[in-house]
Amino acid sequence: MKQITPTFSVEEQLTPEAIEAAVAAGYTTIVNNRPDGEKPDQPTAAACARRAAALGATYHHIPTPGNRLDPGAIDAFPSAIDDATGPVLAHCRTGQRSLMLWLVTQIRSGAMTSGEATALAREHGFGTAALDEWLERPRAPAAAPNVDGFFDASTFSVQYVVSDPATGRCAIIDPVLDYDEKSGATATHSADAILAHIRDQGLQVDWILDTHPHADHFSAAAYLREQTGAPTAIGEHVVDVQALWKDLYGFGDEIAGDGSQWDRLFADGDRFRIGDLEASVMFSPGHTLASITYVIGDAAFVHDTIFMPDFGTARADFPGGSATQLWRSMQAILALPDDTRLFVGHDYMPNGRAPRWESSVREQKASNPHLAGEMDEASYVNLRDGRDRTLPMPKLILHALQVNIRGGRLPEPDARGRRILRIPLDALGGAEWDRKNAKAEA
């Protein structure tokens, strides 16, 4: 027997006698995932059900073949788990099918990512071929989530509520905590506007998602978690950003460097759900070490990689940034279907136009000057690096990163109840005099 969680275990084929021992050990629900008749000496489901009933245990027969996961079994298994009043013991010939069905249930519910599920199966000594096949199954055309953008004029940032029209479940992406650097005041006006929209639309929040630790605004993820109870998530390489910036700020153990400020750390390729919407994660480094793209139905939230076609692309000169990595990340985004809607992290309103934040892969390929035509990696890196040498550091970078590597939490108050930001001097390039020299040399 392999105990997966305190309330769920898997086992090889159970006999009626073994069911009696399981019930005596405290299991209240038995789930049989093996079809009858696989082996001549195999106990029948009916015989096992009778023994379980006589012992006061609940018994489910949810069979699936040995070489794949049956869609009917995938749909039936969650109810057996949800209806259980105590520990569940699921079994098949080796326990593998039972564990795969449980892992699919966790992935579909958002309780576990695909990467975590695969790792857990291997940790317990099981192969993952059936799980891999399910993860790679052909899918119907991507669903179209509703996407509402909220533009923050002070930081040119775009926050999103992406929702499933069928279920009313939603996620919040890259929310802003208001901060005035001149007075040092903080507020939750932007986040509260998002919450008001969610209430007005009758939505329920499944996730609060960061694409990366931002350098130009404070994250409202922690505040929104307090208000909604929804889990927060970011890419797993946030730990690299934490290490880099903790060193730059001179922080010690007062800030954990393991990403524990978020409820979930996503790896490249991980999948999760927002209601009935399939969502996946693309690792998209270049702007930062930790940047990720969320692909949700037919929409991709590309943060600070690609901007609107009339503006270009994001900078890559922050600590840990790389124009080469950014180019490759953008090429992976542009490999999505041409009709994929792309939602950017910022809009700088070139030529005074109104804010915009939605384009498509097709539109970007055709008209973004940093991506279209004869542009290749070497040309892009030369263009990007040259442009970045003339740009000032974001005015809030030293203010924001110390908050955002904490998951949007402000520093703990001191003895007087005041929260103090730490500003290291001479830690970054991009001073005004350096930019003037760069422009003169260009």
Same domain for 252 and 219: yes
pLDDT value, residue 16: 93
Query: Does residue 442 register a pLDDT over 80?
Result: no
Same domain for 127 and 18: yes
Residue type for position 204: Q
Same domain for 251 and 336: yes
**Tokens for 295?**
């692909």
Same domain for 187 and 328: yes
Query: Does residue 439 register a pLDDT over 60?
Result: no
Mean pLDDT of 200-215: 96
pLDDT value, residue 112: 77
Query: Does residue 336 register a pLDDT over 60?
Result: yes
pLDDT value, residue 387: 93
The CATH number given to whatever domain includes residue 54 is 3.90.190.10
Query: Which single residue is written with the structure tokens 């069979």?
Result: 63
pLDDT value, residue 59: 96
Instruction: Please choose, from the candidates 162, 270, 279, 282, the residue with its C-alpha nearest in 3D space to the C-alpha of residue 212.
Output: 282
Rounded to whole angstroms, how far apart are CA atoms 95 and 34? 9
Mean pLDDT of 420-433: 85
Same domain for 151 and 58: no
Query: Does residue 369 register a pLDDT over 90?
Result: yes
Same domain for 282 and 167: yes
pLDDT value, residue 435: 62
pLDDT 10s digits, 318-335: 999 999 999 999 999 998
pLDDT value, residue 37: 92
Would 400 be classed as within a structural domain? no
**Domain final residue pick, 352, 367, 388:** 388
**Tokens for 172?**
């919040």
Would 398 be classed as within a structural domain? no
pLDDT band with cut points at 50, 70 and 90 for residue 140? low
Would 417 be classed as within a structural domain? no
Percentage of residues of the chain with pLDDT beyond 70: 97
Which whole-number Å values give the CA distances from 433 to 44, 120, 394, 436, in the listed order? 82, 53, 15, 5
Mark out the alpha helices in 304-410 (DSSP H runs).
323-334, 361-367, 377-388, 397-404
Query: Does residue 105 register a pLDDT over 80?
Result: yes
Query: Does residue 434 register a pLDDT over 80?
Result: no
Domain total in the chain: 2
Average pLDDT score, the chain? 93
**Domain final residue pick, 99, 115, 135:** 135
Query: Which single residue is written with the structure tokens 């799980």?
Result: 131
Same domain for 314 and 187: yes
Same domain for 117 and 151: no
Which whole-number Å values give the CA distances from 346 to 40, 91, 221, 341, in the listed order? 64, 51, 18, 15
pLDDT value, residue 107: 84
Rounded to whole angstroms, how far apart are CA atoms 18 and 29? 13
Same domain for 152 and 110: no
Query: Does residue 46 register a pLDDT over 80?
Result: yes
Query: Does residue 240 register a pLDDT over 70?
Result: yes
Would 437 be classed as within a structural domain? no
- Which of 75-84, 392-401, 410-419, 433-442 comes out lowest in average pLDDT? 433-442
Query: Does residue 441 register a pLDDT over 60?
Result: no
pLDDT value, residue 139: 64
Would 403 be classed as within a structural domain? no
Same domain for 111 and 180: no
Instruction: Specify whether the CB–CB gap between 176 and 186 falls below 8 A.
Output: no
Would 401 be classed as within a structural domain? no
Would 442 be classed as within a structural domain? no
Rounded to whole angstroms, how far apart are CA atoms 367 and 370? 9
pLDDT value, residue 398: 95
- Which of 113-122, 139-148, 293-302 comes out lowest in average pLDDT? 139-148
pLDDT band with cut points at 50, 70 and 90 for residue 427? confident
- What are the φ and ψ backbone dihedral angles of 352, each rounded to 5 degrees? 75, 15
**Tokens for 235?**
């890419």
Rounded to whole angstroms, how far apart are CA atoms 257 and 244? 10
Same domain for 217 and 107: no
Instruction: Please choose, from the candidates 29, 28, 34, 27, the residue with its C-alpha nearest in 3D space to the C-alpha of residue 12.
Output: 34
pLDDT value, residue 50: 95
**Domain final residue pick, 103, 135, 167:** 135
**Tokens for 313?**
């692309």
**Tokens for 36?**
């009858």
Supply the range of the domain harboring residue 157.
Answer: 146-388
Percentage of residues of the chain with pLDDT beyond 90: 85
pLDDT value, residue 20: 95
Mean pLDDT of 144-164: 96
Would 415 be classed as within a structural domain? no
pLDDT 10s digits, 262-283: 999 999 989 999 998 999 999 9
The CATH number given to whatever domain includes residue 285 is 3.60.15.10
Query: Does residue 412 register a pLDDT over 60?
Result: yes
Query: Does residue 3 register a pLDDT over 60?
Result: yes
Same domain for 161 and 20: no
